[in-house]
Structure 1
Amino acid sequence: MKSKVNILEMKRMKKEGKKFTMVTAYDYTTASIVDNSTVELILVGDSLGMVMLGYDSTTGVTMEEMIHHIKPVVKGAPNTFIVGDMPFGAYNVSVEKAIENANRLMKETGCDCIKLEGGAEFAHTIEAITKAGVPVMAHLGLTPQTTSQLGGFKVQGRDLETANKLINDIKAVAEAGAFSAVVECVPSQVAKLMAEAVDLPIIGIGAGPYVDAQVLVTQDMMGMFDKFTPKFVKKYATLREDMVNIYNGFNSEVKEGLFPSKEYSFDIKVDGLE
């Protein structure tokens, strides 16, 4: 059985050049499967809005929905570091509200840290939350909660100006006290410079091979989500197709009278039933 990594170990892994991984989970069963694997971190992301709840974006996800999904993941993966996502509206109203919601997420779910989107403009919020005793993972590059401002789901940092902003952003969140950062949809060389600019671990998703760790959404990497597949996703399985075949097989066996057979039935003699 693996032992749960901690923040100091993650920083040491970066220093020693040891890669690690994070995947998403939104329920007890998936979390327990990840807990049996060698993956070090689970992100209960607001991506659950799209892959679990059928929303068109992550913006509509609420604090209540995040808490509802984080709690069973914590129960299912006691040996895995759990990251709880702060949804849109939970931290951008005021610093006081951000601290209140960060405290609530930690207290009500038992997760190991919170994650929030935003760079230098949210450095004061990150600093306040960390000073309040809550570990913070930042999220830079493509920030799904504010894709409308970014022109949609597009690669960020494609020119010198925006690349420089990303490098300044990672420095700002590091100085504010974030212990790590997710960097999403950024050119590989820009992500490399970001990773070299700070001592906190950079977890990439569509950020190339030069960062310290990688994260993928489980439903994407397992081939379960069919609405779209980002360029950076490698499908390690085709579970959607497999599951459809299994459901079809069940349906056919029931209609043909093959299931349930004696093996799956209780043939118990009940005295006097005649």
Structure 2
Amino acid sequence: MSVHNPDVKRITTHVIQELKSKGEKISALTAYDYSLARLVDAAGVEIILVGDSASNVMAGHETTLPITLDQMIYHATSVVRAVKRALVVVDLPFGSYQGNSSEALRSAIRIMKESGAHSVKMEGGLEVRESIIRVLSAGVPVMGHLGLTPQSIYKFGTYAVRAKEETEAQKLLEDAKMLEDIGCFAVVLEKIPAALTQQVSQSLTIPTIGIGAGPDADGQILVLHDLLGINKEFKPRFLRRYADLHGVITQAIEHYVDDVKDREFPSKEEAY
């Protein structure tokens, strides 16, 4: 049973900060369409991320790189229409901010104006500092993202755990502090050692949101379709499946096909 506070009419970046201050864990999930976003929002999740994981989940691409800004705005608009309570964060997609702070600002403004979302997420640390500052300077809240950053997958060459070595761990700590200092309201930590997550979370006043980063982040996020068991191929250690919708949906469709073939659907009662 969800225990979210019904008195909070709208989750804002300020509310997210208060949750960390009170030591209350933050729940976050992805959503990409109106129908499922309505369910996620009503269930009491604080943050809904319109992730560039839509590239994988909704479009079937191998990586997050192919999804465009226009496509992200389409998904974000669908989600925002559904949401009454949660804070909606939208990923800036690959190529829309990395090389040019002016381009980053244009991309973020398009997302905010055209979708009605509440904030954006940008991957990376020092290398994208100027782009993040430029977006923040326009009054757009920014969530950071460190550790395994899927938009850089071809640089890493693997989806393995990041920051296990001291040098990379130290850089992540410095990047996290920098993101806080320039004004990010939270930071996602993806696939890093649990001990490092604890260290980062304790050193920052802004919330950390973990995915495959252990129990000591201030909040947790999963991809909705993974949590629901719609996607059966993806089986990382950090994923807990809360349902087997792959089986339920497949069985329902097979039942429908059988009923049509056997002339059992529609019945006389289902006809006009």
Partner of 2:32: 26
Q: Tell me the distance in 2 between the aligned counterparts of 1:15 and 1:72.
A: 32
Letter in 2 for 1:85: D
**Aligned ranges 1:71-150 → 2 under 5 Å:** 71-150=77-156
User: Is 2:49 the counterpart of 1:43?
Assistant: yes
Deviation at 1:123, TM superposition (A): 1.9
Partner of 2:68: 62
- SS of the equivalent of 2:210 reads strand
Deviation at 1:152, TM superposition (A): 1.2
Partner of 1:157: 163
Partner of 1:220: 226
Unaligned 5+ residue runs, structure 2? 1-5
Size of the aligned set, in residue pairs, is: 266
Contact 1:106 1:112 in 2 (8 A): yes
Deviation at 1:49, TM superposition (A): 0.4
Cα deviation code 1:170-216 (max 9, x no counterpart): 00111111110111001000011111111110000001000100000
- SS of the equivalent of 2:160 reads coil
Q: Tell me the distance in 1 between the aligned counterparts of 2:9 and 2:129.
A: 32
Deviation at 1:121, TM superposition (A): 1.7
User: Which of 239, 255, 260 does residue 254 from structure 1 map onto?
Assistant: 260
Partner of 1:232: 238
Letter in 1 for 2:54: L
Cα deviation code 1:97-138 (max 9, x no counterpart): 101111111000000000010012222221121111110000
Partner of 1:199: 205
Identity %: 38
> TM-score, normalized by length of structure 1?
0.95
- SS of the equivalent of 2:192 reads coil
Letter in 1 for 2:217: V
Q: Tell me the distance in 2 between the aligned counterparts of 1:212 and 1:156.
A: 19
Unaligned 5+ residue runs, structure 1? 267-274
Deviation at 1:230, TM superposition (A): 1.9
Q: Tell me the distance in 1 between the aligned counterparts of 2:215 and 2:29.
A: 16
Q: Tell me the distance in 2 between the aligned counterparts of 1:195 and 1:54.
A: 34
Letter in 1 for 2:69: M
> TM-score, normalized by length of structure 2?
0.95
Which consecutive aligned stretches of 4+ in structure 1 deviate over 6 angstroms post-superposition? none
Contact 1:117 1:139 in 2 (8 A): yes
Q: Tell me the distance in 2 between the aligned counterparts of 1:195 and 1:127.
A: 22
How big is the alpha-carbon RMSD for the aligned residues of Structure 1 and Structure 2? 1.1
Letter in 1 for 2:261: K
Q: Tell me the distance in 1 between the aligned counterparts of 2:238 and 2:125.
A: 22
Letter in 2 for 1:58: T
- Structure with higher Rg: it is 1
Q: Tell me the distance in 1 between the aligned counterparts of 2:120 and 2:179.
A: 14
Contact 1:124 1:176 in 2 (8 A): no
- SS of the equivalent of 2:120 reads strand
Contact 1:156 1:185 in 2 (8 A): yes
